[in-house]
Amino acid sequence: MEAIVSLCKRRGFIFPGSEIYGGLAGTFDYGPLGVMLKKNIQNSWWKHFVTNREDMYGIDAAILMNPRAWEASGHVSGFSDPLVECNKCHRRYRADHIEEKNGVKHCPEDNEVLGEPRQFNMMFKTNIGATEDPTSISYLRPETAGGMFVNFKNVVDSFHPRLPFGLAQIGKAFRNEIAPRDFIFRLREMEQMEIEYFCKPDTWEKTFEHLRSEFNVWLFSIGLSKEKIHEVEIGDGDRAHYSKRTIDFEFDFPIGQKELAGLAYRTDFDLKQHSLFSKTDLSYFDEDTKERFVPHCIEPSIGVERAVLAVLASAYKEEQVGDEIRTVLSFVPSIAPIQVAILPLSKKEELINPARKILQSLQKIGRVQMDVTQSIGKRYRRQDEIGTPYCVTVDFETLVDNEVTVRDRDTMKQERVPIKDLEEYFAKKLV
Ligand code: ATP
């Protein structure tokens, strides 16, 4: 983990939030390469689950919602974690993260016996408008799901979708975690990619299996290996109150096997609750059977940052090359921040000019950048470290034979390719 955190900082992927002020726990800022990696992961999810399908409707709902929505969903009364405090050092912990010794929990710092847990609501409260009284209280959404349930009727009324169909959303969510930690694994400000997929009540099992398999397909497509993903069936007593079945997708993170994503069968709980609290009919009329009912819902949900961390952890490698250690991020080309780096061997115009032409032509098909500083060996190392799958070197030979050297990040093999063939050469490799 330390090596990944340090590479992310050094190479401009991810920085501690508000760092020059001493930071703000549970927040991180994305740098130029990190934001590209994150957006590529988001775009790949959106493409897989929304644009490549006929049954999915994207939405982008407001972060601030009418607080009644959070009463309906159960968040106001129940979105809490058990908090324990050390009476000596006053550090606070999530009770379920502290192991018991002989039936007692101790403070990890000073070994003091910890008191009884109390429930701590994790929603960030805020006030809407100029008055600060109980009537103006609202919350920063703790998950994106709510925005989809409250727009169910809007989408049904404007698109008349046939069941099964889903709403999908990518957006910020906020949780006042008791103990944010482990880099971007547990944050107070994060992003989620969630789907609320609606189906007829008697088809939930088939739908659940379909989404489970599609979710795996997508996880593999961003470079996560099968062996590192563990599907864990959550038992009766441990599931959220609304769920009749939940599978957690756990991943072998550098900090251990932990939750990456969840797949939950939420029944008709949410639509019924929102119907009740908003006094709006959220039932669905089935044109085929002429029946009216409240659809059931399956929710695949993943935190963007946990996806980013899983991708970084899977891609990070240190390899012995000769007497040097080579650090590589072996991202799959489709999500690599930069897919091709153009490296003119010298800063002389006679090489920069053809290099720029190649850059412009390849920018039509991918994310391409020019890198001109330092020796070619150092540039290869730098591109390996930021996960660029291909380097194109423009040398003095190029001026004679109109060919360039293409170097593959993973095999480190090099081959000469005619400039005129480059677009075609890369077209298939970058998708
Ligand atoms: P955990 O048990 O780790 O606290 P959770 O079960 O509360 O997570 P969900 O409510 O199911 O998480 O949220 C859906 C997804 O959002 C999680 O699978 C995870 O990827 C992500 N997520 C949840 N909490 C955080 C957080 N504090 N920081 C980063 N990502 C998070």
CATH label of the domain that carries residue 32: 3.30.930.10
Same structural domain for residues 37 and 157? yes
Same structural domain for residues 208 and 251? yes
Residue 232 pLDDT > 90: yes
Is 76 a domain residue? no
Is 363 a domain residue? yes
Confidence at residue 135, expressed as pLDDT on a 0 to 100 scale: 86
**CB distance 197 to 166 below 8 Å:** yes
What are residue 219's phi and psi, to 5 degrees? -60, -40
Number of domains, the chain? 2
**CB distance 175 to 80 below 8 Å:** no
Q: Cα torsion for 298, 303, 309, 311, to the nearest 10°?
A: 40
Can you give the pTM of this predicted structure? Answer: 0.94
Whose Cα sits closest to atom 8 in ligand 1?
A: 259
Same structural domain for residues 155 and 20? yes
Same structural domain for residues 390 and 284? no
* Separation of CA 180 and ligand 1 centre (Å): 12
**Tens of pLDDT along 324-336?**
999 999 999 999 9
Whose Cα sits closest to atom 20 in ligand 1?
A: 303
Whose Cα sits closest to atom 5 in ligand 1?
A: 259
The sign of the torsion formed by the CA atoms of 269, 274, 279, 283 equals: negative
Is 371 a domain residue? yes
Whose Cα sits closest to atom 22 in ligand 1?
A: 303
Is 369 a domain residue? yes
* Separation of CA 303 and ligand 1 centre (Å): 6
Same structural domain for residues 275 and 345? no
Is 42 a domain residue? yes
**Tens of pLDDT along 408-428?**
999 999 999 999 999 999 999
Give the structural domain span for 342.
Answer: 338-427
Is 115 a domain residue? no
**Tens of pLDDT along 35-64?**
999 999 999 999 999 999 999 999 999 999
Same structural domain for residues 289 and 149? yes
For residue 248, the ligand 1 atom closest to its alpha carbon is 18
- Ligand 1: list residues with CB < 6 Å: 143, 175, 177, 186-187, 190, 192, 259-262, 301-303, 305-306
Pocket test for ligand 1, best of 259, 299, 305 (most atoms within 8 A of CB): 259
